[in-house]
Structure 1
């Protein structure tokens, strides 16, 4: 009899994260729900347990804390001996809503395109410090978590890594054609070059040179962080042929992170990441899914939907 599969979900205490935990558990997977906030994580886990999903347990994990990551790895190793599924869901938006009411009235995130940048100064603000934190969390912390769990994932017969990304990670949003093509050329891209590109962005962000050098102008750090995560996903898929690594845009979900704007529910948003986590062994690796459908990393038209 095949061993029961186990999954770890970061940022699992609310929003899409907790729905991912619910759907995985409903599919018979043992789920480790993790969150930075212990009390909220325990509460979310208890609610799932009470609903009949006894195969969900909690473990505290702050993805920006290397010692917390190490403790989580040790916990999974001791409790399960391996990890079958890692879903990197935790993330930061990197923006402040100055006028939440106006943000919602104008259509929420649909309006955050560069043509509207001059209209958004009194609605959304992107401080440099938040942008830096966004990249640290969405790219670097996610990368550290992933690489810390690789040894346990390699012990699985059907390992899966799912990186929850965004339609804002589409290279369409970059205006520097050379950089856009460089990020798309996965055969020649390296992790070292991704680091260099991030540092270039942060320098231009701090110096207010985003438009001059062709970076996204709205939700800039978030778009760059998710584009880098997408590129990293493809590199990991090439590096680890025995692990299926994909990224998924869950859709524009009505959740706390989107200030309760969006087109679909949290339950619907969880379907894409769960689908990628449960792909058959002959499924794709290094792919990008827009909800449950494969999509390009570089769209020719505005990809927001």
Structure 2
């Protein structure tokens, strides 16, 4: 008698477009049931319809704002009621923490207009945008893990995949002191990491350093290529190594 693989359930945050949407598409092609999420309900429903029109049927939408704990908890209750467990959590939702003039994007997308690096001089960074970025990119990921950890523990092969841009590497942090503290992983507790985040925001408020993390659609890879790594990790066997940093599909140093 052949053994059957239990249905796998995945939640992908910020997945109504871009790499998030492509991760949903690729997971669906592997037989995974996907809960596509987005802050904007209309855009999320439109994304699900787009997937269904392309032949994917095992996908549903649920509204989610990772910056709002009540929104994350509402999604958790939905997953608990509908499926009783969660197998894959892909933390993809993120914002740039900076603003860019529309005309700058228009120029950059024209032939010879310049790559992502040339846009960094055209961005406006404020303390308010930095707080929003930290609340979504860092604390939002923590909220999702906290809400779903008990449901993930009910899975036979639970996976949490956290996405980052290339600016997630230590070398991209301008301050040497904070780089050294984050690199010391043996002494880096959750409380100390939170304190470093608050220190970053204070430094930002005093205009001590700058950074960006979203590429405004000027990346060097396609969404299909960008989604390949997260999907590969989501489907790794249960006895695979955990807690590693990957660049695309290869294990990499986070430095």
What is the TM-score when the length of structure 1 is the normalising length? 0.77
Tell me, which stretches of 5 or more residues in structure 1 are unaligned?
A: 211-216, 223-256, 299-305
2:158–2:238 Cα contact (<8 Å) kept: no
Pair 1:34-2:37 in alignment = yes
Distance of 2:79 and 2:68 partners within structure 1: 17
Aligned-residue offset at 1:53: 1.0
The equivalent residue for 2:132 is 133
Distance of 2:195 and 2:226 partners within structure 1: 32
- The 3-state SS of whatever aligns with 2:186 is coil
Aligned-residue offset at 1:59: 0.9
Q: 1:270 aligns with which of 208, 227, 232?
A: 227
The equivalent residue for 2:70 is 67
The equivalent residue for 1:218 is 211
2:173–2:211 Cα contact (<8 Å) kept: no
2:156–2:238 Cα contact (<8 Å) kept: no
The equivalent residue for 1:145 is 144
Pair 1:285-2:226 in alignment = no
- Structure-to-structure mapping, 1:1-305, within 5 angstroms: 1-98=4-101, 99-103=104-108, 107-111=114-118, 120=121, 123-210=122-209, 217-219=210-212, 222=213, 258-298=215-255
For residues 178-203 of structure 1, the C-alpha deviation after alignment (integer angstroms, 9 at most, x for no partner) is 43222112111011111111111111
Distance of 1:167 and 1:173 partners within structure 2: 8
Distance of 1:142 and 1:32 partners within structure 2: 17
For residues 132-151 of structure 1, the C-alpha deviation after alignment (integer angstroms, 9 at most, x for no partner) is 10011100111111110000
- The 3-state SS of whatever aligns with 2:187 is coil
Q: How many residues align?
A: 248
Distance of 1:148 and 1:45 partners within structure 2: 24
Aligned-residue offset at 1:95: 1.1
Q: 1:64 to 1:218 in 2, by over 3 A?
A: closer
Distance of 2:113 and 2:126 partners within structure 1: 22
Distance of 2:177 and 2:123 partners within structure 1: 29
Q: 1:188 to 1:6 in 2, by over 3 A?
A: same
Distance of 1:271 and 1:59 partners within structure 2: 23
Distance of 2:174 and 2:79 partners within structure 1: 42
2:14–2:39 Cα contact (<8 Å) kept: yes
What is the TM-score when the length of structure 2 is the normalising length? 0.91
Distance of 1:40 and 1:129 partners within structure 2: 25
2:160–2:234 Cα contact (<8 Å) kept: yes
1:8–1:87 Cα contact (<8 Å) kept: yes
2:8–2:87 Cα contact (<8 Å) kept: yes
Distance of 2:238 and 2:92 partners within structure 1: 22
